[in-house]
Structure 1
Amino acid sequence: MSPLPAATVPALVRTRLRAAVRRPSRLTPDEVRDRALVLRLLSLLLQYPDAELATARPAVAAAVRALTPSPAATELAAFTDWFAEREPQSLERHYVEMFDLRRKSSLYLTYYLHGDTRRRGMALLTLAQRYRAAGWETADGELPDHLPVVLEFAALSGPGPGEAPLRQHRRGLELIHRALTQADSPYRHLLAALLTLLPPPTEADLKAVAELAAAGPPNEDVGLDPYAGGLFAPPSAFVPPEQAPPTLMPPLTPPPDGPR
């Protein structure tokens, strides 16, 4: 079948289609900068809300307010409005409940793709090798698939290869967002912000997410060498590893010319 002539498609529709499929490689320098800042803020806010992060909340909120208006910025603002008002101990309890005690919203991305199988150990090793090839090392105790680590790598390495691990694990990110939404957790806004930066899900993606939500990741009674150490139990008793220490960011200050 021959495609319809372009003239038969309303100009507004063509414009919106082009905007929807715009590739990160075609972003302007300002857009790349804004995108990197959004990713770094997401990396910071998805870390355990210890005393240092709780103290930095006013600076983080100011950085979010200074973002260029976008769907991601709107979602970030919705989260920081909640984050700024909660007592620190309440934030800590909520974080542990959402990310440490629930299998469907764990922040370790390869779990959703490979479960507790040999393939997951290889996926962790491959991801660590990708970081090293880019001249980037994770801190001791950090698994390379921990979402804040993946986000920081994406922010520092750029929209192309830097964001490749996020695109690869899009289905897992979709499942985390779904689980947080079902739990009515404000952290859903952070996952929603991240998903606005990625290509829209395909029908196959949505079907896979639904199947993953129903059946869970694959299981295999083996270790995860070289990243095992007995830290991972079968899915029926899944307990993620202890949270890695927070990855610190330089002070978040608006650009010299003020908010845009």
Structure 2
Amino acid sequence: MSPLPTTVPAIVRTRIRAATRRRAPLTPREAEDRALLLRLMSLLLQYPDAELVAARPVVAATVAALAPSPAATELAAFTAWFTAQEPDALERHYVETFDLRRKSSLYLTYYLHGDTRRRGMALLTLAQRYRAAGWDTDGGELPDHLPVALEFAALCGPGPGEAPLRQHRRGLELMHRALADMDSPYRHVLAALLSLLPPATEADLKAVAELAAQGPPGEDVGLDPYGSGEFAPPGTFVPPEQAPPTLMPPLSSPEGLR
């Protein structure tokens, strides 16, 4: 879409752009395909333990059978790498990528709120959203862990289910940039996810650039509003311990992922 003339009032330009981003309702088949994409992303962003490593042939076959789309292309690029690596190399890369780097943390509220009290409230709100939708997580991970949010999106659909992903789109954009900068194959999974979300606006891109330069907000005291854990002070962020993958049993066939 070509840029709108500056003579058009700002509110009109904003609403026209919003209208162009709206999609027609998904057909049942499209909704099923989208849910499968989200579930695959959730699975592939989990720690590559022995169970997930053993399931790689099934996961790769499921990805190969996806309907053609930008997301499917990105996931195929990732699984080509994922299936070729030795298990210990996969584990090392995962820890180095997601546990030791702040800009590629899998905890979404960290990007928006940093180590502040607001992050604790955001976690509570997200957990309440899950419960209100009738979804009770096992408590093994914080509710803002990206694989958890992706599973919720797969279960509840593009509207309310994907709302947390849309809310944290800027964090996802920063995560993708960080993964691309380090040339991590996980950049393909984030690219697949971003291809399903509304395009980034100019304001989004500006905010991402500022976040990349300055980092998220920080706060030194009063950081225990969620559970019994405490967030690290700025500059010493340590992600929570990695929970076991929440695989969808059985994984002995592609249907196990649906």
**TM-score, scaled to structure 2:** 0.88
| 3-state SS of 2:170 partner | helix
Contact 2:74–2:191 (8 Å) recurs in 1: yes
| 3-state SS of 1:189 partner | helix
The alpha carbon displacement at 1:248 in A equals 1.4
* Matching of residue 64 in structure 1 with residue 63 in structure 2: yes
Deviation string 1:59-79 (CA, Å, 9 cap, x unpaired) is 000000111000000000000
| 3-state SS of 1:91 partner | helix
The alpha carbon displacement at 1:139 in A equals 1.2
- The separation in 2 between residues aligned to 1:40 and 1:250, in whole angstroms, is 12
**Pairwise mapping of residues 164-175 of structure 1 onto structure 2 (< 5 A)?**
164-175=163-174
Q: CA RMSD in A?
A: 2.0
The alpha carbon displacement at 1:20 in A equals 6.8
State the partner residue of 2:11.
none
> In terms of mean alpha carbon deviation, does 221-230 or 99-108 score higher?
221-230
Aligned residues: 239
Identity %: 79
The alpha carbon displacement at 1:141 in A equals 2.8
Contact 2:78–2:189 (8 Å) recurs in 1: yes
- The separation in 2 between residues aligned to 1:122 and 1:22, in whole angstroms, is 30
Contact 1:43–1:148 (8 Å) recurs in 2: yes
- The separation in 1 between residues aligned to 2:151 and 2:55, in whole angstroms, is 18
Deviation string 1:204-253 (CA, Å, 9 cap, x unpaired) is 000000000000000011313223523x2123111111112211113464
Structure 1 gaps of 5+ residues are: 5-16, 256-260
State the partner residue of 1:93.
92
Contact 1:124–1:227 (8 Å) recurs in 2: no
Contact 2:41–2:147 (8 Å) recurs in 1: yes
**Pairwise mapping of residues 6-85 of structure 1 onto structure 2 (< 5 A)?**
21-23=21-23, 26-85=25-84
User: Cα gap change, 1:228/1:214 in structure 2, threshold over 3 Å: closer, same or farther?
Assistant: farther
* Matching of residue 223 in structure 1 with residue 223 in structure 2: yes
Contact 2:59–2:254 (8 Å) recurs in 1: no
| 3-state SS of 2:235 partner | helix
- The separation in 1 between residues aligned to 2:46 and 2:133, in whole angstroms, is 23
Contact 1:39–1:194 (8 Å) recurs in 2: yes
The alpha carbon displacement at 1:22 in A equals 4.4
State the partner residue of 2:238.
239
- The separation in 2 between residues aligned to 1:227 and 1:78, in whole angstroms, is 38
Partner amino acid for 1:21? R
- The separation in 1 between residues aligned to 2:157 and 2:35, in whole angstroms, is 7
**Pairwise mapping of residues 63-212 of structure 1 onto structure 2 (< 5 A)?**
63-212=62-211
Contact 2:74–2:189 (8 Å) recurs in 1: yes
Structure 2 gaps of 5+ residues are: 6-16
Partner amino acid for 1:226? Y
Contact 2:77–2:188 (8 Å) recurs in 1: yes
